[in-house]
């Protein structure tokens, strides 16, 4: 066997090994155990938040994971409270965008609402998952 053949084989073996090592593992977002519902479990809800606002969402038999919250500008500078079943989950200043990498879980048969002394628009984004 000629030295050129040996060099060619070693180059092919090296290139193949380098290619295989360069492949990265795939990760689904969000990382961790979760199972979505249907073909598009992503949902978004918008409501005018005030002292007597209507519920943003009711989960029914499903679990909802809140991933993003956007609070718009209101008539006065005060916070808006995101509430689950009447208990405050988080208090947010107006004109804020909050992203939660792991999200807040809203249990089945729960209601999400918001409270603000002065009106402001709030939007929550997330996805439905199996309980």
C-beta of residue 126 within 8 angstroms of C-beta of residue 43: yes
- pLDDT tens-digit profile, the chain (131 residues): 687 888 888 899 988 888 888 887 765 555 555 555 555 678 888 888 888 867 888 888 888 888 898 888 766 777 888 888 888 888 888 888 888 888 888 888 888 888 888 888 888 998 888 77
Question: Would you state the pLDDT for residue 91?
Answer: 85
Burial of 113 (0-12, 13-18, 19+ CB in 10 A): buried
> What's the pLDDT at 87?
85
Predicted structure pTM score: 0.65
Cα distance from N-terminal residue to C-terminal residue, the chain:
65
Contacts of 47 (CB under 8 A, 6+ apart): 53, 54, 56, 113, 114, 121, 122
The pLDDT value recorded for residue 101 is 80
Beta bridge partners of 58: 111
pLDDT at site 75: 66
Domains of the chain with CATH codes: 42-129 (2.60.120)
**Cα 119 to Cα 76: distance, rounded to the nearest angstrom:** 8
């Amino acid at each position: 066997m000629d030295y050129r053949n040996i060099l060619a084989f070693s180059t092919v073996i090296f290139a193949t090994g380098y290619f295989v090592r360069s492949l990265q593992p795939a990760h689904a977002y969000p990382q961790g155990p979760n199972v979505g519902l249907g073909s598009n479990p992503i949902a978004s809800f918008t409501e005018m938040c005030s002292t007597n606002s209507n519920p943003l969402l009711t989960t029914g038999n499903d679990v909802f994971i809140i991933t993003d919250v956007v609070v718009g500008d209101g008539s006065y500078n005060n916070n808006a409270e995101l509430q689950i079943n009447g208990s405050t989950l988080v208090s947010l200043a107006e004109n804020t965008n909050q992203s939660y990498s792991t999200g807040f879980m809203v249990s089945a048969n729960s209601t999400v609402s918001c409270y603000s002394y002065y009106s402001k628009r709030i939007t929550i984004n997330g996805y439905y998952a199996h309980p």
